[in-house]
Amino acid sequence: MKNKYHEYIIIYLSVAIGCFAIGLIVRATVVAQGVDAFSANTIFWLIAGLGIISYCVLTIAIKGLLDKTGKLLFPKPKQVKEVPKPEEELVKQLSLDEIRAEKQKELALQYTEKLNTAIRYTQETLALYVSDADMDLLCENIEIYAAGSDLNTPTFKPVKVKDLTTVDICHFGWNIWNNFDVTDQWGIARFLKAVFEEKLKDMELKTIKKKLKIFEPNSTIQIEESLNKTDDTK
């Protein structure tokens, strides 16, 4: 940029000197012809000023003409806006903490869905066989079981049932166990023994465990491979 300024100064200074030189020549000519000094000076400044102004006007006009001619003869190619490809887009990298938090949310959601399914199944299946108060206790017991409490020393509260056999109780227990995808069946056996203690008082834990999925076509509560009726893939 500084070099261009220097070029402009040299060019305009040269033009000004040339215009002044022409003005001096014209002044000397008119003085020689008998024109007074004031008129001669006036002519000098008019010639010098007109010369400088004429140069500027011509420069601007010629530059504009050259620019328009260049655009007509050599038009600039249209710039095509590049659309970023999907694979070139930046992908946000999740930190380990964010991944863990997301996984925790997923597990919490799965737990809530399974618990709601178990509670709904219990209410629909045992509504005719337990009182309202015992139903509330039973649902609380299921929440304790689902939370994974220490089943060796359970805090389950016993409930009373009517018109159900021990096989029905075992089938109910298997369905609840299967809903939560628990591997250990001893836990659900302890759950049944503690919750339905009156009905299962004469049965040992190992017997309850063996009868969880025993086939009994005439039982009231049948084995359910999935408590979620919309899940046909399990």
Question: What is the pLDDT at residue 170?
Answer: 96
Which single residue is written with the structure tokens 């959601």? 109
Whether 146 and 118 have beta carbons less than 8 Å apart is answered as yes
Q: Which residue has the higher pLDDT, 75 or 106?
A: 106
* Residue, of 141 and 152, whose pLDDT is higher: 141
Residues 6+ apart with CB under 8 A from 164: 126, 129, 199, 220, 221
How high is the pLDDT of residue 61? 78
In the structure encoding, which two tokens stand for residue 82, read together? 């590049």
Q: Look at residue 232 in the predicted model and tell me its pLDDT.
A: 45
Q: Which of 16, 69, 5, 12 is nearest to 45 (CA)?
A: 16
pLDDT by residue (tens digit) across 162-173? 999 999 999 999
Instruction: Report pTM.
Output: 0.56
Q: Where are the alpha helices (DSSP H) in 74-149?
A: 96-126, 132-146
Phi and psi for 199 in degrees, rounded to 5?
-75, -30
What mean pLDDT is reported for the chain? 81
For 84, residues 6+ apart whose C-beta sits below 8 A from its C-beta are none
pLDDT range class, residue 100, cuts 50, 70, 90: confident
pLDDT digit string, tens, across residues 176-209: 999 998 888 999 999 999 999 999 999 999 999 9
Please state, in angstroms and rounded to a whole number, the distance separating the CA atoms of residues 114 and 177: 11
Q: Which residue has the higher pLDDT, 141 or 47?
A: 141
d(CA 126, CA 221): 9
* Residue 87 confidence (pLDDT): 53
Q: Does 74 have pLDDT greater than 70?
A: no
Q: How far is CA 9 from CA 4, 19, 24, 54, 180, in A?
A: 9, 15, 22, 17, 89
